[in-house]
Amino acid sequence: MKEFAIYTGLRAALFAICFAVLWFALHNWLTVFPLLLIALILSSILSIFVLRAARDRLAGKIETRATKISTRLEQARSAEDDD
């Protein structure tokens, strides 16, 4: 799924950007682990707002795929009942 790869890549890029900004701003005061945790939390919060369009495209693709699968299953069940 192309949309999944795009969304995951954008999340990883947002995390990397947050970590880089925090590293340059706070690496004298904090070690790597707290910076990673702060970057994780910050990127998670930012992704809610920044990646809304990509997330909506991914959700639409998943919904379309789920609808197709459930339609096929329903057709298979009705064909089975007819036999």
Domain span at 56: 2-82
41-75 confidence digits (pLDDT tens): 999 999 999 999 999 999 999 999 999 999 998 88
Q: With a cut of 70, say whether residue 27 has pLDDT above it.
A: yes
Mean pLDDT of 20-47: 96
Q: With a cut of 90, say whether residue 13 has pLDDT above it.
A: yes
How many folded domains does the chain comprise? 1
User: What is the full DSSP assignment across 16-58?
Assistant: HHHHHHHHHHHTTTS-HHHHHHHHHHHHHHHHHHHTHHHHHHH
Task: Specify the pLDDT at position 83.
Answer: 58
**pTM, to two decimals:** 0.81
Query: Rounded to 10 degrees, what is the CA torsion of 34, 52, 21, 5?
Result: 80
